[in-house]
Amino acid sequence: MKNERFSHKDLANGLYEISRLSVEQEEPAYVVVALDPVNFEKVYTRELEGVSTVSKSTPPDRNGQARLTSGYPAMTYANWFSYQTDFLSENLEINAAIANTRSVLSGYQVR
């Protein structure tokens, strides 16, 4: 998705605008926001941009515990998929998601 005519930021800005308009139409007293850090499992993936070792609790291992497998942390998957090279850590991605949400929904009580 990276080329001179289009940026993933253009797409994100359009999605942010649609989100803001949807909230405005409902005129809520407050907005409930959920950030889902679920891990995407890619069991047979070994060498692919952004693939890492993730913890999965469903299905559990033979002892009923979470297991480690190949996959993508969902909060960071969009960044990796956009082929940008600015990924530093999952914590920073989560903080960026919170900051973006507060910016898009400025003027609303966000919970």
Higher pLDDT, 31 or 84: 31
Q: Cβ distance 40 to 24 under 8 Å?
A: no
* Separation of alpha carbons 66 and 6, rounded Å: 40
Is residue 7's pLDDT more than 90? Answer: no
What's the confidence (pLDDT) of residue 63? 92
Q: pTM of the entire structure?
A: 0.58
Q: Are strands 52-56 and 39-41 parallel, antiparallel or unpaired?
A: unpaired
- pLDDT range class, residue 29, cuts 50, 70, 90: very high
